[in-house]
Structure formats: structure tokens, C-alpha cells
Amino acid sequence: MTVRVAVVGATGRMGRLFVRLIDESADHELHAGLSSRDDLAGIEGADLVVDVTVPAVSPGIVERAVRAGIPVLVGTSGWSEPRLAALGTVVAEVGGPGVLVVPNFSVGSVLATMFATMAARFYESVEIVETHHPGKVDSPSGTAIRTAELVADARRDLGPVRAPHVDQRARGQQVASVPVHSLRLPGIEARQEVVFGGAGETLSLVHDTTSQTAYEQGIRVALAAAPTVTGVVVGLDRVLPLGPSSERA
């Protein structure tokens, strides 16, 4: 059966990519392509809603789709733990459908975050530097937020990371105790560096996205998985065959 997809944010960078991949898919068809300012009545009748808008409007779009009984794939940044908790309450209240939240559709980015989570237990000092194109309106990026939260979770029984002088603005924004520094520069698509500091050594995990083609594989996987998830599922790793973490909540 062909899945009818409504893309909200279809006029943006990621939205246009989604529309192209849906048009190229034998398993999906575009039900509606809406901007973030369009009437959301256009999502009615869709089998799946894709939200690739901006953090300010994303929660309202997702809640509207959930209350309409339509599964949602969220590719918008800014979904921190408090927002996810509030979304989980709405999904539980309605009794479904599922929502798949993907901070980054790049498989390489997912792997880099997994490696950072593995390293987090061995280093007390961790900082993140994320760089994106000037058109990215939110900071820190959703990927950086998710990475910081997973690093903190991996250190749950060890305590927060060591981050001196965080009262100074130049030290970045703390996310789950991890300082995050955001750069917005022309000539770049996306880059994240997670730097670990320990006695006598540093470890840097760097992921560079040089083209939007890096997102295509992850988008296809997410489009196929989103209609079948239950509850709120966060991360592309939850639907990729990457081992135990790929099991869904």
C-alpha cells in the first residue's frame, strides 16, 4: 500500500529534499506540501505527517497531527527532553499514534553520537562544537542537544561532566551539564566535534556533512519506519539495524 505523506515545511531545505525523495519512492506519494504558515487542515487524509519546520511552531504541528490520529516523523531541531516529555504526555492521552523524532538523518552522525556515548564514561571533561550554514535558525542544533543528553545519561552514575567557568558567556550553553558552542558560517553544511579531555590526552570525534545527500539513506529508513512506531521514539539509531539500541521503545 502506498503511504500518503503530508510534508509541513515543504518549502525549506529539508522539506524540498523530503518532497523529492517521496516523489522518487514507489512506496510513498506526496499527499500535501505545506509551509509552516499554511492551514494544517491540509494534513487531513494523510497516512504520515513529516514536520521539518522550525522549533517555534513544530510542537503545535506535531500535536495537531497526533490528535488527528496521524503518525508523525519529526525532523525539526529543538526537541529537548522537556519537549519530548510533554509530547509523550499528549501521545499517551490520545492513545497513539507514534511519533519518530530524528535529530539528524545522517548515518555517520548517528554513529559519531554513539561513539561519543561510549567514550563519555572514560572522560570527566566533554565539550561540543557544532557548526552549520547561516540559514540554520536554531542553536544549539538538535544533534548537539541529543549528543549532550546521551553523554550525560551515559554518565548518570558518575555525575555531571567537569566544566569550569560556565558562568562566562563565552563558555557556551550548558546542555545536560555539557558546554555546547554553536557556529554559523557560509561555506559549510554541518559539522560536529565532540572533544573529550582527560589526564595527558584529548579525544575528538568529528563528523562532517558536506552535502544533503548524506541525509537520503536515513530519510528513506525513517519514512519506512515512522508509520509503525509506537509511543515517542527518538533517534535514527532506534530504527537502524545497529544492534541492541535499534530496538524500539
Annotated binding site: 9-14, 37, 75-77, 102-105, 133, 142-143
Edge-first strand order for the sheet with 232-234 is: 28-34, 3-8, 48-51, 72-74, 99-101, 232-234
> Which cell numbers hold the place of 110?
548517528
CA distance 62 to 72: 7
- Whether the bond between 164 and the residue before it is cis, its omega within 30 degrees of 0, is no
CA distance 19 to 30: 7
User: How far does Cα 62 stand from its chain's mean position?
Assistant: 14
Q: Is 92 helix (H, G, I), strand (E, B) or coil?
A: helix
Q: Indicate if 207 belongs to the active site.
A: no
28, 132, 181, 207: the active-site residue: 132
Q: What are phi and psi of 216, to 5 degrees?
A: -65, -45
Annotated binding site for NAD(+): 9-14, 75-77, 102-105
Among 135, 229, 141, 232, smallest CA distance to 192 is for 141
**Strands 3-8, 28-34: parallel, antiparallel or unpaired by DSSP?**
parallel
Q: Is the dihedral of CA 36, 134, 182, 75 positive or negative?
A: positive
Instruction: Find the largest Cα–Cα distance for the chain.
Output: 59
Q: Indicate if 132 belongs to the active site.
A: yes
Annotated binding site for (S)-2,3,4,5-tetrahydrodipicolinate: 133, 142-143
136, 165, 181, 207: the active-site residue: 136
Annotated binding site for NADP(+): 37
- Whether the bond between 97 and the residue before it is cis, its omega within 30 degrees of 0, is yes
Among all residues, which ones are annotated catalytic? 132, 136
